[in-house]
Amino acid sequence: MNNLLTTEKDLQHCFRTLLNSCILLIFCLILSSCSVLQPVPGTFVDLKKIVPGIEIDLSYYGNHNFLGRPVDGYKREVAYATLEAGFALQALQKDLQKEGLGIKVFDAYRPQQAVDHFKRWAKDIKDTLAKATFYPEVDKRNLFKLGYIAERSGHSRGSTIDLTLITLKDKKELDMGSPFDYFGEKSHHNYRHLTETQKVNRKKLRTLMDKHGFKALDEEWWHYTLKNEPFKDKYFNFPIK
């Protein structure tokens, strides 16, 4: 009889343990789901909503980029940035509109999952789908060494913007001498073999960005980071959706 009671107690204990484990598993799955579907932080803003007339053309949302395909994390064509960067761009746009010009954004906030996608792609040496357009002069094996691909990106902190200038009348991009995301010397600010018009256009963009609190990246004429960015050491990973 005692043996039967002991066995019954053991079974009850095992059942309770199993039940608790199931509850814990369900709780973990819920937390995991919440992490994947995390909302946009309140410190970020949709640039379209605060910068009148801004043009958004997120290259990584579609196929026209150095991968040749949509990038992980870009579920919608929405350009997010920190409030501080957004208000700085708002002031910039206001200045430009006096000259019949505006800004066009190629990329703003970039999820870490997108950066991870870049890293996986860079390690696949055989995948050169978009080489002729974006890196014809660069050996893909050197992308990490040359700094074109990195473990992390300032874009993931929310205050780095890739952009150009356009005319408000017809939305035409000003000639900057190389396309966005072109891997090569012609994208560098100090590239000498530019036409006078291209030099003037690059200088105008850099001067205005500096005026409104952004610093340039020497190797990419389109890349600017807010000098007083609010998240200097924090990298976000919420998807653009």
Residues 175 and 218 in one domain: yes
pLDDT in tens, 62-84: 999 999 999 999 999 999 999 99
N-term to C-term CA, the chain:
63
Q: What is the mean pLDDT of residues 215-234?
A: 97
Q: How far is CA 10 from the centre of its chain?
A: 55
Taking alpha carbons only, the member of 112, 113, 225 closest to residue 163 is 225
Angle made by CA atoms 110, 43, 49, in degrees to the nearest 5:
80
Residues 188 and 79 in one domain: yes
Question: What percentage of the chain exceeds 70 in pLDDT?
Answer: 84
Residues 57 and 161 in one domain: yes
Q: Decide if 111 is inside a domain.
A: yes
The yes-or-no verdict on residue 173 having pLDDT over 50 is yes
pLDDT in the model for residue 224? 98
Beta-strand pair 44-46/101-107 = unpaired
d(C-alpha 116, C-alpha 72), whole Å: 8
The yes-or-no verdict on residue 208 having pLDDT over 80 is yes
Q: Decide if 233 is inside a domain.
A: no
Residues 71 and 163 in one domain: yes
Q: What is the mean pLDDT of residues 128-132?
A: 97
Angle made by CA atoms 203, 206, 211, in degrees to the nearest 5:
120
Residue 195 confidence class, pLDDT cut points 50, 70, 90: very high
- Phi, psi dihedral angles at 196 (to 5 degrees): -60, -40
CB 143 within 8 A of CB 115: no
Residues 116 and 144 in one domain: yes
CB 79 within 8 A of CB 46: yes
Q: Report the number of distinct structural domains present in the chain.
A: 2
Least trusted range by pLDDT, from 25-29, 150-154, 174-178, 194-198? 25-29
pLDDT in the model for residue 12? 61
220 is catalytic: yes
Residue 107 annotated in ligand binding = no
d(C-alpha 10, C-alpha 166), whole Å: 75
pLDDT in tens, 7-65: 666 556 555 655 555 444 444 344 333 334 456 888 999 999 999 999 999 999 999 99
**Catalytic member of 55, 84, 220, 229:** 220
Comparison of pLDDT for 32 and 191, the residue scoring more: 191
CATH of the domain at 106: 3.30.1380.10
The yes-or-no verdict on residue 91 having pLDDT over 50 is yes
d(C-alpha 184, C-alpha 134), whole Å: 9
CB 175 within 8 A of CB 198: yes
Q: What is the mean pLDDT of residues 181-199?
A: 97
- Supply the pTM of this predicted model: 0.84
d(C-alpha 136, C-alpha 138), whole Å: 6
Residue 155 annotated in ligand binding = yes
d(C-alpha 185, C-alpha 67), whole Å: 20
Residue 124 annotated in ligand binding = no
Residues 16 and 111 in one domain: no
For 141-158, give one letter per residue: b (16+ CB within 10 A) or e: eebeeeebbeeebbbbbb
Residue 215 confidence class, pLDDT cut points 50, 70, 90: very high
H helix or E strand, kind and range, residue 11: helix 2-36
User: Which residue range(s) make up the domain with 32?
Assistant: 1-37
CB 83 within 8 A of CB 43: yes
